[in-house]
Amino acid sequence: MKPTQKLHDSGQSLWLDNITRELLNSGTLKRYIDTLSVTGLTSNPTIFDQAISKSAAYDQDIQALTKSGLTREDLFFKLAIADLQRAADLFRPIHERTAGVDGWVSLEVSPLLAYDTERTVAAAKSLHAEAARPNLFIKIPGTKEGLSAIDETTFSGVSVNITLLFSREHYLASVDAYMRGLERRIAAGLSPDVRSVASLFVSRWDKATMDKLPAEFRDRLGIAVAKSTYAAYRDLLASDRWQRLENAGARAQRLLFASTGTKDPTAPDTLYISALAAPNTVNTMPEETLLAFADHGELEGVLPQDGADAADTLAAISKAGVDLAKLGADLQAAGAKSFVESWNDLLKAIDTKSRALVA
């Protein structure tokens, strides 16, 4: 049995953190679904920047859409939605077989809206309607302004992938916003069955502290944060507040481990996959990490519900001089800034291609 099948059988969903038109056209994504137990897909501005700027597969559509007079941003969303609709259709049988638990794809609102609640909500509703797929998440960052947007978007019935979460505290704030949206739906006589995932970014903790911590803590911080957040997730699912929502018809938001490609060249390339096998969660992996795990991955058992040694590890790292709260906030701000930079690069690439193709 392949390691990916073993991980899937342990109760964790394997999603691909990548999308390109070549993946779709070549049948590679379908092959990953059939042979590597891939049951979903995520995307972000950096992924689309790489896909569009380094490929001619989009050129014909860019040329046609440019002539129609669309803005560069609207043109991008036309390209992205076309790809994600095709991916969503590939995952649709999984989505139906699991009663909506799995088989999702994700599309992010413009990163320029990370600190604009009202426009984020409007964009989320518009993109979700345009995509017209029941298994498409709209990604909204878990910034302070994003939390209000998550509440309102959930209340409107749009399924949300809450992104750019870096800490247990970020997760708890985001799931509170999600539950507020569900509670408002119940109060309004609406169904609370609006799905969601909460995406915790893992590896960037270790990249940020690689040269700042003693060797004994190298590559342990991200996993400790993930374990601590997993414990909070399991506690939340057992809470009276969640039980009341579930009794009214809500389905659990799932914790998703993101940024799980290894950044340290001296560490195993499957580090954040083997260490974070957890039932009722998702691990979204870069393509090279997925292939590496399928080739030589090993499971270390599943995460205990209490987070195991996470609290002790975090306390020791804090004692070693890392301000965890500040670093979490800094990582979130840096992540939002990075997506804005990728977004701008993406729009520039589309603009350059548009000019050349029309000429």
Q: Which residue of the set 30, 67, 78, 139 is catalytic?
A: 139
| Residue 80 tokens, joined | 């992205």
Q: What value, to the nearest 5°, has the Cα angle with vertex 47 and ends 43 and 52?
A: 120
Q: Which residues contact 197 (CB under 8 A, 6 or more apart)?
A: 104, 137, 161, 162, 253, 254, 255, 256, 282
Q: What is the DSSP string of 293-318?
A: HHHH-----PPPTT-TTHHHHHHHHH
Distances, alpha carbon 207 to alpha carbons 66, 260, 263, 310, in Å: 39, 12, 6, 18
**Are residues 280 and 268 in contact, defined by beta-carbon separation less than 8 angstroms?**
no
Q: Does 139 participate in catalysis according to the annotation? A: yes
CA proximity to 228, closest of 326, 312, 332: 312
Sheet arrangement for strand 281-285: 38-41, 13-16, 281-285, 254-258, 196-201, 160-165, 136-141, 105-108
Say how far apart CA 231 and CA 124 lie, in whole Å: 30
Contact 225, 202 (CB under 8 A): yes
Give the up-direction half-sphere exposure of residue 266: CA atoms within 13 A in the CB hemisphere. Answer: 7
Classify the C-alpha dihedral 36-37-40-44 as positive or negative.
negative
And the tokens for 31?
């092959």
SS3 81: helix
Nearest Cα neighbor of 147 from 103, 196, 205, 192 is 196
Cβ atoms of residues 10 and 279 within 8 Å = yes
- Give 355's contacts (C-beta < 8 A, 6+ positions apart): none
Please enumerate in sequence order all residues whose Cβ is within 8 A of that of 90, keeping only pairs 6 or more positions apart, or say none: 29, 30, 33
The residues that are catalytic are 139
